[in-house]
């Protein structure tokens, strides 16, 4: 079946502009995660949606970052007034968590954001 998809695959924007990154999780997956991966670095957790619960926003680096998940499916990560240090690959992952148990994450291909 279809995996996690993200769009756009590449985004180049000017400093100070706003950008929106989209994630389409695997159908039926209740959990959705956003991460940031800077060049040569590990995964930086940004935000986590689990079903209808309030999202865990503890990883968002500043108030310029926000995310929403509509209808428990598609998610949009918004970065306002972009800065050069926002340049990175933004990864989305989803998992199916119907109850107690262990559920792996499935990752999308990422959106490479370049702020000039």
Partner 1 sequence: GDSVTQMEGPVTLSEEACLTINCTYTATGYPSLFWYVQYPGEGLQLLLKATKADDKGSNKGFEATYRKETTSFHLEKGSVQVSDSAVYFCALSDLYNFNKFYFGSGTKLNVKP
Candidates 56, 64, 73, 112: give the one binding partner 1 (CB under 8 A).
56
- DSSP reduced 3-state for 84: helix
Distance CA 90, CA 79 (A): 11
Size of site (CB under 8 A) for partner 1: 25
**Subset of 81-110 contacting partner 1 (CB under 8 A):** 91, 93, 95, 97, 100-105, 107-110
> Which residues in 82-105 are b (16+ Cβ under 10 Å) and which e?
beeebbbbbbbbbbbeeeeeeeeb
Footprint on this chain of partner 1 (rule: CB under 8 A): 31, 33, 35, 41-43, 45, 48, 50, 53, 56, 91, 93, 95, 97, 100-105, 107-110
């Amino acid at each position: 079946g279809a995996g996690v998809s993200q769009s756009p695959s590449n985004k180049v924007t000017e400093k100070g502009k706003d950008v929106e990154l989209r994630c389409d999780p695997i159908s039926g997956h209740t959990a959705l995660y956003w991460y940031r991966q800077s060049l040569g670095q590990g995964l930086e957790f940004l935000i986590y949606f689990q079903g209808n619960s309030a999202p865990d926003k503890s990883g968002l680096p500043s108030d310029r970052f926000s995310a929403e998940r509509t209808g428990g499916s598609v998610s949009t990560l918004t970065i306002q007034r972009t800065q050069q240090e926002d340049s990175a690959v933004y990864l989305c992952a989803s998992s199916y968590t119907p109850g107690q148990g262990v559920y792996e994450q499935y990752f999308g291909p990422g959106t490479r954001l370049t702020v000039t």
